[in-house]
Amino acid sequence: MKLQQESLYLIGFMGAGKTSVGNLLGDMCGLAVIDTDQVIEKQENMPIRDLFERHGEAYFRELETDVLQKLANGGAGAPAIITTGGGIILKEKNRQLLKESGRTIFLQCNPKVVVERLQQDTTRPLIKNKTIEEINHMYQMRLPLYLECAITSIDTSAQSIKEVAESIK
């Protein structure tokens, strides 16, 4: 894959495989991989979970938009693979940036599979203590927003990380 001027964004719900697929794809294509959550964690010097606890979701969302805006304005220095937090599509401004500044791929995943994958996870504040029904509801609310931003989508529910990365490539 050659990204001549634009970055490639991977969007999708928590547990869809954005970070794993992005890292493998970066290796396969020799491209830098930038994860918006990791940029925030480094900048704030604390894990996302603590950031939510201390400052709340709204504060995190402001930082997220700020990071995306910088990357969309060429902050990566060269076209890169940019992996994003699952809620990046919630803000209209972010959706515009995703549509205008690169090519965005939606990694779709069945919510039941998401729940299985994240059963032991303690790092994601938004699914902590949530029932399967609540997670499913959150997924359904977000689905049209992911679809709005993406030029294409790939279902990761029954595919390996390698298969997904190869089909993107």
Binder to ligand S3P among 22, 26, 79, 87 (CB under 6 A)? 87
The residue number whose beta carbon is nearest to ligand S3P equals 85
Euclidean distance between CA atoms 43 and 166, whole angstroms: 32
Q: Is 87 annotated as a binding residue?
A: no
| Contact flag: residue 86 with ligand S3P (CB under 6 A) | yes
Euclidean distance between CA atoms 113 and 76, whole angstroms: 32
The edge-to-edge listing of strands for the beta sheet with 102-108 is: 33-35, 81-83, 7-11, 102-108, 152-155
Stretch that binds ligand S3P, among 68-76, 93-101, 123-131, 147-155 (CB under 6 A): 123-131
Binder to ligand S3P among 17, 22, 26, 85 (CB under 6 A)? 85
The SS3 of residue 4 is coil
Euclidean distance between CA atoms 102 and 19, whole angstroms: 18
Structure tokens belonging to residue 130: 């949530």
Could you say which residues in the range 7-46 bind ligand S3P, by CB under 6 A? 14, 18-19, 37
Q: How far is the CB of 11 from ligand S3P (least distance, A)?
A: 9
Q: Is 85 annotated as a binding residue?
A: no
Binder to ligand S3P among 24, 48, 71, 105 (CB under 6 A)? 48
| Contact flag: residue 135 with ligand S3P (CB under 6 A) | no
Structure tokens belonging to residue 101: 């500044």
Euclidean distance between CA atoms 134 and 69, whole angstroms: 30
Residue 119 phi, psi (nearest 5) = -50, -45
Residues making up the annotated binding site for ATP are: 15-20, 124, 159
Residues making up the annotated binding site for Mg(2+) are: 19
Binding site for ligand S3P (CB under 6 A): 14, 18-19, 37, 48, 85-87, 124-126
